Chains A and B, each alone.
Chain A
Amino acid sequence: QKEVEQDPGPLSVPEGAIVSLNCTYSNSAFQYFMWYRQYSRKGPELLMYTYSSGNKEDGRFTAQVDKSSKYISLFIRDSQPSDSATYLCAMRPPSGGSYIPTFGRGTSLIVHP
């Protein structure tokens, strides 16, 4: 079993839908949780990150962490065709442990007009 599991999709939704992207993990030491967005033929770029449990909101995007369930989510409200991309979760332990993030496989999202 991989440390980080992410359904590769594709996930296809109509414009305006609420999108939920998810990752599960097995390493309870993970404390930092990141979401990257990768457009076709580009490198990933950081969308947002959270520390430990809780929610973080940035515009139409909300990141949620449930450490008790080892489950993280990224919600996209009012999805747009420009949101079509691959979304990768990444996570790592806090300072003092391994600094390198572990990435999920990525979920391909298609938002159609």
Chain B
Amino acid sequence: SQTIHQWPATLVQPVGSPLSLECTVEGTSNPNLYWYRQAAGRGLQLLFYSVGIGQISSEVPQNLSASRPQDRQFILSSKKLLLSDSGFYLCAWTPWGQTYGYTFGSGTRLTVV
């Protein structure tokens, strides 16, 4: 069966520090991968999605970036965190060629201090 792993679960980082969040999917090939952010009291905002290795689409201009170095690995990064980057970050996947039916990871709670 397919599983999605996301880590770390919680993270407290100072302003200006770098960020790396990792997400991996097991049990499937060529998944579509997504990064969402959920700010406190707000809905989900799509940050990036990827339909293949090295293929990243950015939805919101900001100081975050994403990479997909392997088929089932999706990384969210920042060179310098801002206070406004605090939030709950969710990785998700859908099967290749399917545009619906997200499966979400358990999320990372990021607090920038």
Say if A and B assemble together: no
